[in-house]
Every structure is written in structure tokens, then in C-alpha cells.
């Protein structure tokens, strides 16, 4: 199990590191752990991916669908991404574009479809401000 937290230059950090390390050692029977700190390079598309994964996880956890995250991911991709037919060894193969290959605007449209899918099921998806506005190409009120 690993944990990821966002640290900000101007915010206290010691309590975060202490609580995460205590939690890690409490939940894992290991003698050592590695802490890695790296720049937050989440691009808008990286934020879109984070929002998408959060939404798929929520759809799976809600229990409304009874499906795993991977099954929901596959279903959503097959339903909302235009498939292409390629020929392999003389046989037609249906290829669904990977969400990782979508351009920012394409992923924004895909996220809108996922939100509509959840709405149709009566599932309210979270909209964490730091991900949602950038992912959907919207300006935040304080911008």
C-alpha cells in the first residue's frame, strides 16, 4: 500500500509526513519505507485522468452498478468512444481508443458523458474543485 499527498510550500508539512508514516507502518508489516518527494506535474490532462479514475471508483463503490472499476472503465470506453476497425491477419478487429490517448478536449467531452451516465443512474459524482474546473475547461470563481 502506498499513499500520496499534496504538499504545499507555504503550508505545514511535518504533521502530514508523521501521520502518513504512522498509518503506513500500522497497516504494513515492514521494517522500512521509502518517502519520495517530487514536483506536482499534473497537467490538465493529468487532472482529467485523476478526476476520471475518481469517478469510476465512485461508480463502482456506489453499488448501483454491481461492477468493478475495470469493467466500468471498459463499458464507458466502449459506449462513449468511437471504435475503429483495424485488420489484423486478415481479420477485422474492433479497436476502442484508450482514454490515455485522448486529447484534452476529447477527454473533456468524455468526462461529460461519464457524468451523464452517473446522472442517469442517480449517482452524484464528486466535483473536487482543484480537479473539476481544470478538467472541464471551466474557470474557477477566484481566477
| pLDDT tens digits, one per residue of 37-49 | 877 665 667 888 8
Give the pLDDT mean for 110-134.
87
The residues that bridge with 84 in the sheet, in sequence order, are 95
Model pTM above 0.85: no
**Mean pLDDT over the full length of the chain:** 85
At residue 143 the predicted structure's pLDDT band, cuts being 50, 70 and 90, is very low
- Residue 141: the pLDDT is 56
Tens digit of pLDDT for each residue in 83-111? Answer: 889 999 999 998 988 888 888 889 999 99
Of 98, 118, 110, the closest CA to residue 135 belongs to 110
Beta-bridge partner residues of 93: 86
Cell numbers that stand for 138 in this block? 471551466
pLDDT digits (tens, 9 = 90+) for 4-18: 677 778 888 888 888
- Class of CATH domain 44-135: mainly alpha
Rama region for 113: left / alpha / beta (φ>0; ψ in -120 to 50; rest): alpha
Amino acid at each position: 500500500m502506498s499513499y500520496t499527498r499534496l504538499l504545499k510550500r507555504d503550508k505545514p508539512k511535518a504533521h502530514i509526513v508523521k501521520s502518513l508514516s504512522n498509518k503506513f507502518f500500522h497497516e504494513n508489516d515492514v521494517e522500512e519505507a521509502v518517502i519520495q518527494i517530487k514536483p506536482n506535474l499534473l497537467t490538465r490532462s493529468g487532472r482529467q485522468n485523476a478526476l476520471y479514475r475518481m469517478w469510476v471508483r465512485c461508480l463502482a463503490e456506489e453499488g448501483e452498478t454491481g461492477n468493478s472499476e475495470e469493467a466500468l472503465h471498459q463499458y464507458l470506453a466502449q459506449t462513449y468512444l468511437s471504435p475503429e476497425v483495424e485488420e489484423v491477419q486478415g481479420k477485422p478487429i474492433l479497436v476502442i481508443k484508450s482514454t490515455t490517448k485522448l486529447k484534452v478536449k476529447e477527454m473533456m467531452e468524455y468526462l461529460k458523458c461519464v457524468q451523464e451516465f452517473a446522472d442517469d443512474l442517480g449517482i452524484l459524482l464528486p466535483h473536487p474543485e482543484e480537479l473539476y474546473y481544470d478538467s472541464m475547461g471551466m474557470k474557477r470563481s477566484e481566477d
